[in-house]
Copies of this chain bind each other. A is one copy, B any other.
Amino acid sequence: MQSPAPLPAPPARISVIVWNEFRHERTRPEVAAIYPDGIHATIAAALAELPGLGPGARALDICTATLDEPEQGLSEERLAGCDVLVWWGHRAHAEIEDAVVDRLQRHVLAGMGLIVLHSGHFSRLFRRLMGTHCSLQWRVAGERERLWVVEPAHPIAAGLDDCIELAQEEMYGERFDIPAPDSTVFISWFEGGEVFRSGCCWQRGHGRIFYFRPGHETFPTYHHPQIRRVLTNAVQWAAPNSARRPDRCPKVEPRERLHTPKD
């Protein structure tokens, strides 16, 4: 009887980078009023304040990164130690460099979890990973949104009510041009007449990806307690369950026969 394979040590804590474009907050007072230190700071605080969600939760090591830092905040060194990347971007998608997109894609496929927020649907990284346009319909009218929980037993929905209500949000409407999600956790209703698949999960390579719709910069969405819970749940869900093995992904090599019929 063979002995068990040596278990790759799963990380005892989850290392999270909250990345933000951080432009709106520095140029538009109405955004700065809601997120004075940037959306990234608010999200990082949300992750820090929530106790682990039960005995199965791991503790978090949280840091932030922004577009205007060296290497756009996303150097190889930072990503090598990152278990989950949270991404908020909007008007500067085109500024992200090819080398950074390549690097991010490689890390996701090697096991880094990725949480893409709101207008990040149009980021180069998300479109690269999806392979589709990721287009949608939209309207900024400060209207009511309800996020209905469609998969209540999904880890990302743990501890939530049947729906999350936001008094004012930007509208995103179908058709959302994405590959059919592996799981659809939330579907949004908008006062103005549209629906949207607002919480979508995909596995790509060794990495787990979660897209979460709400979070327009002019509304206080990331201060909402249930939205903050979703973010915490999503980080726990997206973290790799064993040590990442970046070497395994791109290997395409000839193989010896395992089974040799006798002759």
Interface status of A75 (Cβ within 8 A of chain B): no
Do most interface residues of chain A lie in helix, strand or loop, or is the interface mixed?
loop
Within 8 A of B (CB), among A134-180: 135-141, 143-144, 146, 148-155, 158-162, 171, 173-177, 179-180
Interface status of A184 (Cβ within 8 A of chain B): yes
Interface status of A208 (Cβ within 8 A of chain B): yes
A136: nearest chain-B partner, CB-CB:
B252
Q: Choose the segment among A30-38, A55-63, A64-72 that binds chain B (4+ C-beta atoms closer than 8 Å).
A: A55-63
Q: Considering residues A190, A192, A205, A250, which has the most beta carbons from chain B within 10 angstroms of its beta carbon?
A: A205
CB contacts (< 8 Å) of A149 on chain B: these are 174-175
CB contacts (< 8 Å) of A23 on chain B: these are none
CB contacts (< 8 Å) of A255 on chain B: these are 137-139, 171, 173, 194
Q: How large is the interface on A (under 10, 10 to 19, 20 to 34, 35 or more residues)?
A: 35 or more
Binding site for B on A (CB under 8 A): 1-5, 7-13, 53-58, 105, 109, 111, 122, 128-133, 135-141, 143-144, 146, 148-155, 158-162, 171, 173-177, 179-180, 182-184, 187-195, 197, 202-208, 220, 223-226, 228-229, 240-242, 248-263
9 interchain residue pairs of minimum CB distance: A193-B258, A193-B259, A10-B54, A4-B225, A192-B257, A7-B159, A153-B206, A261-B261, A129-B131
Chosen A-B contacts, 28 in total, with CB atoms closer than 8 Å, are A1-B220, A1-B225, A2-B226, A8-B159, A11-B55, A54-B241, A56-B56, A132-B204, A135-B249, A135-B251, A137-B255, A139-B255, A139-B256, A139-B257, A146-B258, A148-B174, A148-B194, A148-B195, A149-B174, A149-B175, A153-B203, A153-B208, A159-B242, A180-B182, A191-B259, A193-B257, A193-B259, A262-B263
